Homo-oligomer: A and B are copies of this chain.
Amino acid sequence: MEIKDATLALAALGQATRLSVFRLLVEAGPEGRMAGDIADALSLPGATLSFHLKELSAAGLIQGEQRGRFICYRADFETMNELITFLTRNCCGGQPDAACLPATKKVAEKATKRARA
Q: Which A residues lie at the B interface, using CB under 8 A? A: 3-4, 6-16, 19-20, 23, 26-30, 75, 77, 80-81, 84, 87-88, 90-93, 95, 98, 100-103, 106-107, 110-111, 114
Contacts and interface: CB of A to CB of B under 8 A. Distances in A.
**A6, A102, A111: residue with the most chain B Cβ atoms closer than 10 Å:** A102
A13 B14 contact: yes
A7 B3 contact: no
B14 A14 contact: yes
A84 B81 contact: no
Which 10 residue pairs spanning A and B have beta carbons closest together? A11-B14, A29-B92, A10-B14, A102-B110, A14-B14, A77-B100, A106-B106, A10-B13, A103-B107, A7-B16
A103 B110 contact: yes
A19 B3 CA distance: 8
B30 A98 contact: yes
B29 A98 contact: yes
